[in-house]
Structure 1
Amino acid sequence: MLVLLVPVLAHADADYGNGCVLFSDNTSATVDSLRLRCGPAQQDAIYRDAPRGNVPIGAKDGWVASPREMQSWTPLVWIGKDFYTGPGGGYLLNRLTAAGIEAWPANVFPGSSVVDGRPAWVLDYAPSPTPQLYDEIREVTPGVWFGYSWMRQGGGFVQQLSFILS
């Protein structure tokens, strides 16, 4: 009899304090925590701690995490992203309005984070009507991505907002 021992990676919940918790087995609770209980410093720590993870595939709902002032009105214009990707990347179309209109394409590929230079998924809007936009994301728990939206400006990047996909 041949017995193979295969290491299993255990995913534990990650507690960043004051109710800011990432739940390894509950995407809805993780999204709510990122949106409603995690402050910008906690979100930054979560992003820095996360690996690049898997590339999103298919339709992903989206939420603005910060600035919080945008959370109430953003769903009127943006509700997520539709990813047409394989293991190495691909492209996406943003879903706009409650009708889910696909628009604003971006190329999706592995790259280096503006935040810390580590691996991230880059969402480059060069082919869109707003080529100065540039997003990056990491998978913070299975099926939940957190990221930043940047504006290219003067040879650098200016952060616009942070967002969640699931």
Structure 2
Amino acid sequence: MGPTRKRDLLAAVVVTAVAGYLLVRMVYRWFPPITMWTGISLLGVAVAVAGWGFFVRARIRDGEIGVGRGRLHPLAVARSVLIAKASAWMGSVVLGWWLAVVAYLLPRRSVLRVAAADTPGAVVAALCAFALVVAALWLQHCCKSPEDQPPNADAAPG
């Protein structure tokens, strides 16, 4: 399993945004109101994922990986990578959706009063989805093992 490629995530954002825009054009009239609180839950998940990334990074840097009390189990790191990958993909899809909604709402703000009211909530939701993608990529980065040092790395230059 390799690292998540940013171009793949970008492709997911674009495909979802295009499909989402077409869907929003057909069904926007039945949407519930989009408030500022609509996407805030994504920000909570992003903060949790980023916080876990800092924790894992500190444990790996300090060499506290392995079995034993107070150590981070290697399977916990592997599960963290899985959570990071899933969060990055889900965040990308949700980001594409909210970008589609924003793209639909922005040109209609002067014509539709409800579009003007929904735009700030959709923008906040898109920003929170972007934060989730960034946090997931950070967690994935934090789960990398430290680089192997050459055997004489501690020796003084001679």
By relative contact order (CA 8 Å, sep 6+), the higher-ranking structure is 2
Q: TM-score, normalised by structure 1?
A: 0.20
Structure with the higher fraction of residues in helix conformation = 2
Q: Determine which structure has more spread, i.e. the larger CA radius of gyration.
A: 2
Structure with the higher fraction of residues in strand conformation = 1
